[in-house]
Structure 1
């Protein structure tokens, strides 16, 4: 029985690989060099996406600054040159602004280029990232800064050694983004609940098992049913946390109490090109993307800034003098 099942699985995998291989032959003369389809698939299956950078560095040394990584769901073009990236993304952006369909989430990062993608991107840029909106969150930023200072002071008093600032940066930025996303200053327990389901989704989405599932989108749910069920469970857990928050926010839209404009407010009022509205699942995906995309990037930037301030004492002293000139001595 086990041998029969093994033969079936191998046959389905081969069938899934043959079709993309045939479809890629037509473009082989146009695609940049890179490892073969089987080699690319092997690299993806044996390396976690979260620790894939050394693999890409080795491929860059072997194939150059522009190379192709072929997988079961299509070729990916990797660019490791600033000059090439600017030419592709800026000078010839309209030509390259597309991506293959992804089967997991409905958000800006995974949506195929088209009317929906343009609408979602424009909504984020105009309703949240616009300078006028950024200014409206000034009180929220002051609130987050007080949280950061309080946490740093508490740890400094509790420990005689150094303070690990990156964890406090991550917590503070996440709380600020939760406020910008949902429009409410939740208590610590609710924020931890949101962070927990976010972290669970990131761990599952960044695992090799999801990579296997994504490589065979047609057969993946059958071949890797346990992986798919695990993903569904994590997604359902996140929706159980996010949906009540979104519903409560939408229901309070006509309240007379002054409130900050939140990202979810724009999603609730959004009309898709076909005239429909976003479902709760789609809004959960977009809110999750908002929180994930802003937390790690901002935390990494702050961590890099702090590291350089420690390394360059002259810049640190200059920055300190400028702060004292504005807010006064401590």
Structure 2
């Protein structure tokens, strides 16, 4: 859940300065708008009558708790922590026309996502800018619970994210890792001290390259082309941020510029991605006559599974716009989450040289320095795997799992009613830092996951202790891909370079901020020394 981008409007022109007819029209519009707002507020109050909602702070008429949150002076994640102390691990926030039920304990997360997984397997209705980019919720993440979602998810897992498919995409990872290391080496060499690299932007580029390769199977895209595509995808993320009119729809006319900008970004996205789709179509046609040039096209891509996809309940295959949406969902969903994790990982490595030494020692024992480490190697490195688990426990990519919703009326959590039109949000940090579940929860210590130590199933199926990818039926289908990429990138970065703190950042600041994901408040600038041999 992202922080809202709040809106400040200029004072309107005085009615006295308008012609009489215009003034009457404006007064009429305002009166109708206010009547609609009051009617909607009254309807909502009537609709919830008789329900026992979770406790929460008292709100104002119409806006609920919206302005209390907006003007609290705190990021939403810290505001929720404060409310939790007063109202407990389940609470209600009324945010304009939306009702948020926020849960923040392992017991309630297990009840909602595992025990009652089917009851809370849907997504809330939306009438916002985001539906432009989701093709009216035609994506795995946004689709309501039902046959359409099942078809899309089944295809994504079998066509892209199953263990067998991930192994087939190993060449894509090897290509991206080679480009990644070369890019960081060049950046360090070009810096004034010959050692400085910005971690997040390099990690983001590497992950983007892997996912672009996996999605389209086009191997001859040069760096400039990749950077242009990436820039468009970033603009899409910015255009889908939460706005005040998402909570107060009667303000939407005041946001016409933002809406027009969103439509422009969507057109730019389609114009950028559709040529890649059409190129892959042409390659597939040619592949019927002869194998593809191994330097130009991969034998398989995620797009291949979408072109003739039959979705339950629909007669037609996805349209071009829907293909753009599904491809973009995979790329955007996997890029920033993984890149953010890599930045936090390298911050921990720079901050604690003993962690770096143990990771490097394990890599030398399993691989040596004769060849680059790959994902097959990382599976057999227990300390690296423990490091990744601790990383995801302490620094989940987001503080809220994707919003859930009840499938039908009558659903309850902890004895409270959760209406189908309410957003069910799971706050993750208080779970993974719960002292009842973890020894020394505020410390970063990978050793906790080694033999004889603590256990944690990050899928939540064996018990909720940390769920960075969610849990239950709507768990992120990319959990295996994400952990594979994090482990591989950390191993390659430690194998290729020795990492040190930059003189401009002593000591490291582990404060965070929420963008699309939870990133370091001060981006990590590190110093690297290439190890020998160089590859």
- C-alpha offsets along residues 37-72 of structure 1, whole Å, 9 cap, x if unaligned? 613333576699xx5423333333343222223344
Within-5 A mapping of 1:302-313: 302-313=342-353
1:249 counterpart residue number: 280
Distance 1:31 1:41 in 2: 18
2:64 counterpart residue number: 39
Distance 1:73 1:128 in 2: 38
Alignment gaps of 5+ in structure 1: none
Pair 1:62–1:301, CA change in 2 (3 A)? same
1:124 partnered with 2:156: yes
3-state secondary structure, aligned to 1:224: helix
1:15 partnered with 2:50: no
Distance 1:18 1:71 in 2: 16
Match of 1:30 among 52, 55, 58: 52
Match of 1:175 among 195, 205, 209: 209
2:116 counterpart residue number: 92
| Contact 1:9/1:223 (<8 A) preserved | no
3-state secondary structure, aligned to 1:206: coil
Match of 2:92 among 44, 54, 68: 68
- C-alpha offsets along residues 232-284 of structure 1, whole Å, 9 cap, x if unaligned? 11111111111121122123223223424222222212112222211111222
| Contact 2:311/2:317 (<8 A) preserved | yes
Within-5 A mapping of 1:85-164: 85-103=109-127, 104=131, 105=134, 106=137, 107-159=139-191, 160=193, 161-164=195-198
Within-5 A mapping of 1:288-303: 288-303=328-343
Alignment gaps of 5+ in structure 2: 1-12, 16-22, 293-297, 370-531
Pair 1:223–1:111, CA change in 2 (3 A)? farther
1:269 partnered with 2:308: yes
2:498 counterpart residue number: none
Distance 1:30 1:191 in 2: 52
> Residue 166 of structure 1: CA displacement?
1.7
Distance 1:179 1:162 in 2: 28
| Contact 1:182/1:246 (<8 A) preserved | yes
User: Which gives a bigger RCO, structure 1 or 2 (Cα 8 Å, sep 6+)?
Assistant: 2
1:77 counterpart residue number: 101
Aligned residues: 324
- C-alpha offsets along residues 9-34 of structure 1, whole Å, 9 cap, x if unaligned? 57426624642552354336332223
3-state secondary structure, aligned to 1:101: coil
TM-score, with length taken from structure 2: 0.55
| Contact 2:69/2:79 (<8 A) preserved | no
Pair 1:284–1:215, CA change in 2 (3 A)? farther
> Residue 83 of structure 1: CA displacement?
2.8
> Residue 179 of structure 1: CA displacement?
1.0
* Higher helix proportion: 1
Distance 2:282 2:306 in 1: 14
Distance 2:42 2:229 in 1: 41
Task: Tell me which structure has the larger Cα radius of gyration.
Answer: 2
Over the aligned positions, Cα root-mean-square deviation in angstroms equals: 2.7
3-state secondary structure, aligned to 2:93: strand
| Contact 2:208/2:335 (<8 A) preserved | yes
